Every structure is written in structure tokens, then in C-alpha cells.
Copies of this chain bind each other. A is one copy, B any other.
Amino acid sequence: MGGDFGPQVTVPASVQALLQYPELKVILFGDQSAITSQLSLLNQLQHPRLSIVHCEHVIANETRPSQALRSSQGTSMRMALDSVSDGQADACVSAGNTGALMALSRYTLKQLPGVDRPALVTAIPTNTDNKTWLLDLGANVSCDADTLFQFAVMGAVLAEQENSASPRVALLNIGEEEIKGNDLVKRCAEMLANSPDINYIGYLEGNELYSGRADVIVCDGFVGNVSLKTSEGVANLFIDSIKNAISTNPLKRLVAKWLFNDLFISLKQLNPDQYNGASLLGLRGIVVKSHGSADVAAFSNAIGEAVHEVKRQIPTKISDRLEEVLLERHY
């Protein structure tokens, strides 16, 4: 039970998700008394599809992954991941320390065959009706072309569940013709172009991230993280700017409430922060990372993301697809 707000958010979010998904069962790993007091507030102490596993310890937000690995015994994160690894649970959702979650996930669940490194992926909004899957978001700061290629395959498996049977895959690159891309991007482009199983559409620039032109956009974790965080920064700047523009005049504030009803809804959709639930893709199990600062609705979305991935058997699909694609590449 991590995240910035702990059971105060994760418990009501779980109850909300249980309402939304009648087939869902939730096991809460954390401090029993803190969880119980939240459940009692919600009058849900006896929920038939909710159980609690008491954990003595928690991995702090500032704990380094290496340290988390060494001292994970008895922590809620480790116990939740173990429950996936031993088949007791189908997926783990956490708002805790990302680095620790990544390290412990790899340690407990292991990668799927053909996956060098798991990737952190999320769906970003676009100005079309479709979402776009962006990966990696920071799990891998340095990648080689093979790793990016695997990201493309894994992202396509996710995107084809919602967008189309043949999702358009692009590489995130920079604009100028000559200096188009570093060696990494160029090598991966060649691999993707030569893979008949992948609908590779070429390079996309940062300004097309939200254009809906691709279903999957692939980059290394450094670039993906900077890009997503930059988006967050610009979005917040816009929202602040709108608030400032109307805050000086009481009449404007009033009118804005009426005028901005639609607007704020659509602005909210554009804030990547609202798209909660980044998946760790490429593991032998489903792990969904929620923002640490997620509120009840956002954490409930992250649980929803896990439910979808379980239903769609994403790890099995990724494993099958990688086998096909890699076989094709080698023979």
C-alpha cells in the first residue's frame, strides 16, 4: 500500500473498482489496521470479493532499487508480486516506488522469453478517437536496437486490442532530414522496416506525439520519460495560465465556469497525469504502476487497466508474438 497517500486512496479506489468490475477480486497487501479503518469508513468491512494480507513493512519512495531488492522480505510490494508469481493473483497494481517495482518485478516474475528488458508503457490521449501507446517511459535509460524492436512488438500487442488489427508503429525521432536520428534509431528503423509482421510507418517527431498518426510510438526510456514529463509541464502551464487569465475578474470567473465546463473536461483528458496506469510490459505476469500522486479515480483506473490486461492475457500474447516475429527474423 504505497503511493503518496497510502490506504486513504488505494482502499476506496479498490472498492470503486470492485463495483465497476463484478468479476474482480482484490487482495490488499499492507497494514491491516490502516486498511481496516478505511474499509470501515466505507462500510465495506465484509466485502465478499476483498481480502487483506497484512504486511509488516513497506518500501519507501526514496529506497534505491538495489536496496529494495536486498530488503524486500515482508514488504507489501514484494508480497503482492509474490502472489502473482505463485498464481494466487493475476496482476499486481502499485502506486509505490517505480524503480523498486521494476527491480522486484524482474526478480520475482522474470522476463518473458525473447524480452531483454521490460518496458514501461502508457496510453496517451490524441486529438483523434484513438489512444497511442508510448514506450519506454523510463524503465530503460539506455537501449540497444534489439530492445527497441522488442518494445515495438510488445506495444503493438497492446494497441491491437483496442485500435486496429494492424497497429501503426512509429519511432520517435527528431526533425531535420540529415541529422535524422542517432544510430540507435536508424538501426531499429531498419529492423522494423524488414519485419513483415510489424506495420512500421517510419519516424514521428515530438509534435506528432498526440496527433494519433501512430498507434504505438517507440523510444528509449530517457527520451520517453523527458517527453511525457515535458507534456505534463506544458499541460500544467496551460491550466495555470487559464486560471490566471480568469482569476483577475469576478465576472470572468463566473462566465468561465459556464464556458469552461466542457473545456476543463477536455483539458483534463489532455493531461497525461490523468491517464493513470502504466504497465510493465514483458514480464511473466501483469504489473501496473499507478502514479504515486493518484487520487481515488486515477488509482481505480490503474486497477481497471490490470483487469483489461488479465482478460486479454497480454503476457501470453506478447510471448507468442515475440516468438513468431523473432523466428521470422532469424530464418
- Give residues in A with beta carbon < 8 Å to B: 62, 64-66, 98-100, 102-103, 127, 138-139, 141-142, 172, 174-179, 181-183, 205-211, 219, 221-223, 225-238, 240-242, 244-246, 248, 252, 255-256, 259-260, 262-263, 266-267, 270
Majority-rule SS of A interface residues: helix
Q: Are B206 and A237 in contact (CB under 8 A)?
A: no
21 pairs, CB–CB < 8 Å, chain A vs chain B:
A138-B176, A138-B179, A141-B182, A174-B221, A175-B225, A182-B222, A206-B229, A207-B229, A207-B230, A222-B223, A227-B230, A230-B231, A230-B234, A231-B231, A231-B233, A241-B263, A241-B267, A245-B259, A246-B259, A246-B263, A255-B255
How distant is A289 from chain B, measured CB to nearest CB, in Å?
A: 11
| Chain B residue at minimum C-beta to C-beta distance from A265 | B245
Q: Are A174 and B263 in contact (CB under 8 A)?
A: no
Chain B residues whose CB sits within 8 angstroms of the CB of A248 once the complex forms: 262
In the bound assembly, the distance between CA atoms of A245 and B267 in angstroms comes to 10
In the bound assembly, the distance between CA atoms of A227 and B232 in angstroms comes to 11
| Chain B residue at minimum C-beta to C-beta distance from A186 | B141
